[in-house]
Amino acid sequence: MATEPLSGVRVLDLTNVLAGPYCCYQLALMGAEVIKVERPGSGDLARVLGADPDRNKAGMGISFLAQNADKKSITLNMKAAQGKVLLRKLVQSADVLVENFRPGVMDRLGLGYDVLRAENPNLIYCAISGFGQDGPRRNDPAYDQIVQGISGVMSITGAPDTAPYRVGYPLADTVGGLTAAFAISAALNANPRGAFLDVAMTEAVVSTMGWVVSNYLLGEVSPTAHGNENTTSAPSGTFATSDSPINIAANRDEQWQALAEHLDREDLLVHPDYRTREDRKQNRHSLRQELERTLVTRPAADWVRELNALGVPAGQVLSVPQALSDEQLDRRGLIGELSVHGEDMRLAGSPVVMNGERKMPQAAPPALGADNSAIWSELGMSEAEIDTLRKEGII
């Protein structure tokens, strides 16, 4: 069996809710040993978040299950003097520590990077925050929607008469988590190891807005909301059919010509409003109406099949349940099944297929403190000492 890419790497996951846990989940899927360090009694807030109240009461909320498989869980009160000692000892055996507290919290606890680096000079310390470790917003609370707003994403999402709109899932948390996982993987390849990684969710999101940002910085075009229209070309966007919408991206002239001919609308090819690329962009809304006169006569699946065969990119607009049951996702095995405390559950694996294999979670998301005995005894504590720590609320 091939060695996992991050086999032998120990990650201390001090994070909560989404950005940090998602980051560490990606590392776990690639073979890292991820030890989730949680607050005694309550743990990660995501344990009580999600659509199933019964799971929330049990401390295994759906929001927690989504990105905490393949991890171990220990509990530790880092505010207590003994808790600080234990974390410093644990850091000695770690390669990576990830936290997503507000900037300065770990320093105030006496557990900041300089302190932990003294325990382990090779430690890769990754701090994920909304706005970064310095700057005028460093102390502001940063939830996903706050970051979506401040990054400019909401201003360009929706139609001109509906924007600003938030993206329909926690975009900033997820992009921030992916950015942190990428940075950690790069730092693990450095020689010698040891780094402080400052990952700001806002900056991670702005970085992914490449064309939008460059159009403003280089082209002096102020970005605005365009709904489902692709601002760089036309006809390129979402179109109505007889049953459900489809996306069409006729971005090249030959694709535009093939589309018009297939719809028996050759008249549009010579119409002065649509003759050139720039003409079509200027008159995109009237062009969409003209094309929909034909598109609404037949169902989406027929148009998608025929247009793709002609080299005109097209695809149906699916609901999340439809996307998850789509033959393409099913064939490639993104969603796997895992037994979680006696219940079969479907969870997403790694978005990366490596050498023909997709990394899937092998172990269920852990119960709070499930690995206390194993991890703390590894540091030389007896079961009696561990039990005392439990009684004192240290773990």
Domain pair 10-208+365-391 / 236-317, same fold: no
Instruction: Give the length of the chain.
Output: 395
Confidence tier at 367 by pLDDT (50, 70, 90): very high
Helices 171-188 + 201-208 axis angle, to 10: 100
| Percent of the chain scoring above 70 in pLDDT | 99
pTM of the model: 0.93
Give per-residue pLDDT as tens, 37-60: 999 999 999 999 999 999 999 999
CATH number of 10-208+365-391: 3.40.50.10540
Q: What is the pLDDT of residue 2?
A: 55
Helix (H) or strand (E) holding 115: helix 113-119
Give per-residue pLDDT as tens, 269-291: 999 999 999 999 999 999 999 99
In the residue annotation, 173 being an active-site residue is answered as yes
Rounded CA gap, 176 and 141, in Å? 15
Q: What is the pLDDT of residue 70?
A: 96
Confidence tier at 339 by pLDDT (50, 70, 90): confident
Give me the CATH topology for the region 236-317: formyl-coa transferase, domain 3 (3.30.1540)
Neighbours of 366 (CB within 10 A): 23
Q: In 3D, which of 247, 258, 256 has the Cα closest to residue 287?
A: 256
Mean pLDDT of the chain: 95
**pLDDT, mean of residues 389-395:** 94
Q: What are phi and psi of 84, to 5 degrees?
A: -65, -40
Give per-residue pLDDT as tens, 66-85: 999 999 999 999 999 999 99
**What does the domain layout of the chain look like in residue ranges?**
10-208+365-391, 236-317
Rounded CA gap, 199 and 222, in Å? 27
**What DSSP letter does each residue of 324-365 carry, written as one string?**
HT-HHHHHHT-EEEEEETTEEEEEE--S-EETTEE----SPP
Query: Is residue 115 scored above 80 in pLDDT?
Result: yes
- Tokens 């807005």 locate to 209
Pick the catalytic residue from 44, 144, 173, 264: 173
Q: What are phi and psi of 19, to 5 degrees?
A: -55, -55
**pLDDT, mean of residues 320-342:** 91
Q: Give 15 or 339, the one with higher predicted confidence.
A: 15
Handedness of CA 76, 79, 83, 89 (dihedral sign): positive
**DSSP three-state, residue 294:** helix
Confidence tier at 1 by pLDDT (50, 70, 90): very low
Rounded CA gap, 47 and 238, in Å? 38
